[in-house]
Amino acid sequence: MIRPIIIVCAYNEQQNVTALLEAMKAQTYGDFSFYLIDDGSVDATFSRAQSYISEHSLSHFHILRKEHVGKEAAMREAIMSVENGNALILTTDADCQPPATWVECMVKKFEETGAAMLIGPVAIDDSHPLQATEFLSIEAVTLGSAALGHPLMCGGANLGFTKDAYIKANEYMPQGVDNGGDMYLLEAMKKQKLPISPVVSNSAIVVTNGSDSIGGFIRQRTRWAGKAPNYTDWEIIAAGLITVMIQASLIAALIGAIFLPQLLYIWLVKIIIDFIILGVTAYKIEKTKLIQYILPVSIVYPFYVTATLIIAFFRK
């Protein structure tokens, strides 16, 4: 029987750590080891986690306190300390809520495929419907491209891989970068031609918190855009460039419509395509109530994508 190892890095997550531990305690697949790496938190993250583990006598739960070195360095150290090279390592984030069937679904997919890397589904919590709707497009690309054998995206909020695969890929990953380890790992896995499989199951959807402000949302997307200069995979680079060109073309078409109104048909085509892709995705993950938000998201998408790219560029 496969005994996966779950590794989560936390920094100042006192508001979320108890909910995470409760979600892990509720897993239907009981034979796993859980490691929470406290990356030098200055709040009550460590004490709350320690109290919860002790109170519930969770012998397979472990909390390790480290000096603050950053998420990627802390995760790398924890992964490299795993003794069994064939062990399935699962990762999520401290502010995420894995469903009770998460570990069970990931293990089942690993048993079925023997993949070196598993890309699991992620969704934004329902209290942020516009962000949740926008995130549907990310998930459609993430899982769709992986299903086609050309993965373009992944997220550490729901990821699986073996230690041996991680070691093989690690030499191709940029060192000393504390942002984007999930995408760099994906690139490195592809370079090594290691098998990558999506986990397309509603029972494996990890829910993450949305940003509580527009500024927070823009900062998050700017951080994501800031990873791009380090990408080396031509498929990922090409997909990014195509996305940028499409958004720029849409803004240009809107400006040009002042003189040539027929250019607005380009927006009509975009909105129809968005309704099809996002609508199907919402239906598949049983979040059909998000369909009502597709129109406003479709309209603002080109502008905030362009804005985040400009901000990311000038921050370099």
pLDDT at 233: 94
Q: Residue for token digits 């919402």?
A: 282
In the chain, residues under CATH classification 3.90.550.10 are 5-120+155-210
> Would you say residue 212 has pLDDT above 90?
no
Tell me the average pLDDT across 252-280.
95
Q: Give the pLDDT band (50/70/90) at residue 129.
A: very high
pLDDT at 180: 63
Which tens digits make up the pLDDT trace of 41-97? Answer: 999 999 999 999 999 999 999 999 988 888 888 998 999 988 888 899 999 999 999
pLDDT at 71: 87
Q: Give the pLDDT band (50/70/90) at residue 316.
A: low
> Would you say residue 147 has pLDDT above 90?
yes
Q: In the CATH hierarchy, which top-level class contains the domain 5-120+155-210?
A: alpha beta
**pLDDT, the chain, mean:** 92
pLDDT at 218: 85
Which tens digits make up the pLDDT trace of 89-126? Answer: 999 999 999 999 999 999 999 999 999 999 999 999 98
Tell me the average pLDDT across 138-144.
94
pLDDT at 177: 64
pLDDT at 222: 86
- Looking at the chain, the whole-number percentage of residues with pLDDT higher than 70 is 98
Which tens digits make up the pLDDT trace of 150-204? Answer: 999 999 999 999 999 999 998 888 776 666 689 999 999 999 999 999 999 999 9
Q: Contact 37/69 with Cβ under 8 angstroms?
A: no
pLDDT at 176: 63
